[in-house]
């Protein structure tokens, strides 16, 4: 590489700071940090911190705001998972706020309905795919346990924006416009709630959702019971009965979130945490365990050998994901075995020089999704890693008039194989793609991070973590660097006897060196440039020595990290 100057003031790269993959600098602040996928939502969370709220309060406010401003990925008709570092107790807490299937719909009844409709899986835009929304209960669980500001103050700015409107940002507008034609004829109030003259809003157009503002007011005044045992649950019950839906008041009344122990493995001295159970975060830990046996730093970032190893590790972990990730209330997940270093060593031995095309789970027994991830941190040292989703874009498009939100279609992710751990059952939580991440170093909270993107999410976590830990990138550079995705693994919705029967397809972002593409193809990988979704990322890192937070946000779309 030749440079036209010997001036040491000029970094030997086209980036001033010397980080070759970074599109912009990290955000650095002392007292608080918020990173979300929508800049106005980031400011909502930051305002809560400025007014004396903590990171938990800020996460709830930011989630309410982004549910309003990015209904293409999340909203109170969906579910929530969170990892929370609570500074006072010195503990990391995990919250599973995912909802369950209707109690009055049996497996046999479901199969009969599907047979009558000619469907061989649960259709995404059907009332069969609607499970109880868990997000609101998740907010109140977080707030009751760790919050400091009253909910009236936490929801004040989201209510203002719902009533007075907000300008729609660029990437969200594009997604919104794609979603409307597919959903606007659904039964309910989708068109009057989510369109302007029957279309999705344009970039910069001011949008209002006063019905959602009224729902937020009810929550601020009456608490979570307004949603699960009061006016909102009653409206949903009536609407479901009138439209041949399956959820009932009792499903909401009996809903509970669950505080659980997070699952963890140590990777090169860093304790990596995920949420277990009906959540795919375990795949991140399995991939890290496998890759720990290789010197990735020596092999180099985005080289042919590193990418080959990562793709093969993904294939191995995703076959277990397809067979063993399910609601632990219905299935005893072999967690200790799946996350053991011994099992990882066994699976690692299966990786050869060529791409695997024949593979099943080593334990006997969707490629796309729209979601939002956000993270917050405060002056006390609290940190929140939170992910929330409708699953497919704007969810089902079923909007109960007057509520302002669309129901999720998470129920689509049940298997129909009666022998599968993830098979549909009444009152059961389906397999979930959404995963928050957290890292501890030397017993201290270090990195709160995550990314959205359906089946991409574990791959995204793996990429961010190895970019930082193995390749020495800062947290903004780690998100800006070249991404990859592999499609074609067996899914948790498949039959139990399904297995990987081809190499699948490796997708790479367009900045990849084409010599790397050639080399991967020579190993038997089917490689495509682009033609995939590579997620969206946010992160906050705590530097204990300097006493500051570093923030990062997705540079490819609308996100923002901001601190004070």
Q: Residue 64 burial (CB < 10 Å; 0-12/13-18/19+)?
A: buried
Q: 331: which 2 tokens?
A: 């299935």
Alpha-carbon distances of 192 from 137, 361, 426, rounded to whole Å: 26, 47, 32
Residues contacting residue 468 through CB under 8 Å, at least 6 positions apart: 447, 474, 475, 478
Q: Is 285 within 8 Å of 336 (Cβ atoms)?
A: no
Q: Is 131 within 8 Å of 99 (Cβ atoms)?
A: yes
Residues contacting residue 40 through CB under 8 Å, at least 6 positions apart: 65, 69, 161, 166, 169
* Element of type H or E holding 97: strand 91-97
Alpha-carbon distances of 489 from 313, 317, 526, rounded to whole Å: 12, 10, 13
Strands (E), 197-257: 206-207
Q: What distance in Å separates the CA atoms of residue 455 and residue 468, rounded to the nearest whole number?
A: 22
Nearest residue to 165 (alpha-carbon basis) of 115, 122, 207, 113: 207
Q: Give the max Cα distance, the chain.
A: 76
Q: Is 413 within 8 Å of 405 (Cβ atoms)?
A: no
Q: How many CB atoms lie within 10 A of CB 556?
A: 15
Q: What distance in Å separates the CA atoms of residue 104 and residue 102, rounded to the nearest whole number?
A: 6
Q: What distance in Å separates the CA atoms of residue 24 and residue 555, rounded to the nearest whole number?
A: 8
Alpha-carbon distances of 316 from 214, 293, 327, 363, 496, rounded to whole Å: 47, 14, 21, 11, 16
Q: What distance in Å separates the CA atoms of residue 304 and residue 223, rounded to the nearest whole number?
A: 53
Q: Is 453 within 8 Å of 435 (Cβ atoms)?
A: no
Q: Is 79 within 8 Å of 386 (Cβ atoms)?
A: no
Report phi then psi at 498, rounded to 5: -70, 155
Report phi then psi at 271, rounded to 5: -90, 110
403 has catalytic annotation: no
Q: 252: which 2 tokens?
A: 């909401």
Give, rounded to a whole angstrom, the gap between the first and last alpha carbons of the chain: 40
Which one of the listed residues 72, 193, 306, 371 is annotated catalytic? 371
367's torsion region: left (phi>0), alpha (psi -120 to 50) or beta?
Answer: alpha
Q: How many CB atoms lie within 10 A of CB 358?
A: 9
Q: Are strands 436-441 and 270-274 parallel, antiparallel or unpaired?
A: antiparallel
Active site residues: 371
């Amino acid at each position: 590489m030749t440079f036209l100057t010997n001036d040491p003031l000029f970094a030997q790269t086209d980036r001033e700071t010397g980080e070759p993959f970074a599109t912009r600098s990290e955000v650095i602040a002392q007292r608080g940090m918020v990173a979300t996928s929508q800049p106005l939502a980031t400011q909502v969370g930051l305002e809560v911190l400025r007014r004396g709220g903590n990171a938990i309060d800020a996460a709830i406010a930011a989630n309410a705001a982004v549910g309003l401003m990015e209904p293409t990925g999340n909203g109170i008709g969906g579910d929530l998972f969170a990892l929370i570092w609570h500074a006072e107790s010195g503990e990391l807490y995990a919250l599973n706020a995912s909802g369950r299937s209707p109690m009055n719909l049996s497996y046999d009844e479901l199969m009969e309905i599907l047979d009558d409709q000619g469907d061989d899986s649960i259709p995404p835009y059907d009332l069969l795919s609607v499970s109880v929304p868990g997000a609101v209960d998740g907010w109140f669980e977080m707030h009751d346990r760790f919050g400091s500001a009253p909910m009236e103050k936490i929801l004040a700015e989201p209510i203002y924006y719902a009533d007075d409107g907000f300008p729609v940002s660029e990437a969200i507008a594009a997604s919104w416009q794609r979603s409307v034609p597919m959903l606007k004829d659904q039964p309910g109030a989708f068109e009057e709630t989510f369109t302007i003259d029957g279309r999705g809003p344009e970039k910069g157009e001011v949008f209002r959702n006063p019905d959602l503002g009224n729902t937020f007011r009810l929550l601020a005044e009456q608490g979570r019971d307004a949603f699960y045992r009061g006016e909102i649950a009653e409206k949903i019950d009536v609407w479901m009965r009138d439209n041949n839906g399956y959820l009932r008041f009792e499903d909401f009344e009996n809903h509970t979130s669950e505080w659980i122990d997070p699952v963890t493995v140590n990777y090169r001295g860093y304790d990596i945490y995920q949420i277990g159970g009906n959540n795919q975060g375990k795949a991140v830990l399995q991939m890290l365990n496998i890759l720990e046996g290789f010197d990735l730093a020596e092999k180099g970032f985005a080289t042919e050998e590193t990418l080959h190893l990562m793709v093969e590790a993904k294939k191995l972990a995703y076959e277990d994901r397809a067979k063993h990730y399910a609601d632990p209330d219905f299935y005893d997940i072999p967690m200790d075995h799946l996350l053991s270093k011994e099992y990882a060593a066994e699976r690692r031995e299966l990786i050869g020089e060529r791409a695997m095309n024949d593979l099943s789970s080593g334990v006997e027994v969707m490629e796309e999704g729209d979601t939002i991830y956000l993270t917050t941190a405060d002056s006390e040292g609290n940190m929140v890693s939170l992910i929330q989703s409708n699953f497919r874009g704007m969810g089902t498009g079923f909007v109960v008039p007057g509520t302002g939100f669309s129901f999720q279609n998470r129920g689509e992710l049940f298997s129909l194989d009666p022998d599968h751990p993830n098979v549909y059952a009444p009152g059961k939580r389906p397999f979930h793609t959404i995963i928050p991440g957290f890292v501890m170093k030397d017993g201290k909270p270090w990195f709160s991070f995550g990314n959205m993107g359906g089946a991409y999410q574990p791959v995204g976590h793996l990429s961010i973590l190895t970019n930082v830990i193995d390749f020495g990138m800062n947290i903004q550079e780690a998100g800006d660097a070249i991404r990859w995705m592999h499609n074609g693994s067996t899914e948790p919705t498949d039959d139990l006897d399904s297995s990987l029967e081809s190499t699948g397809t490796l997708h790479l972002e367009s900045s990849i060196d084409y010599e790397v593409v050639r080399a991967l193809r020579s190993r038997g990988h089917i490689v495509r440039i682009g033609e995939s979704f590579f997620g969206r990322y946010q992160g906050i890192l705590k530097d204990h020595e300097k006493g500051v937070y570093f923030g990062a946000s997705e540079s490819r779309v609308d996100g923002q990290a901001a601190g004070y």
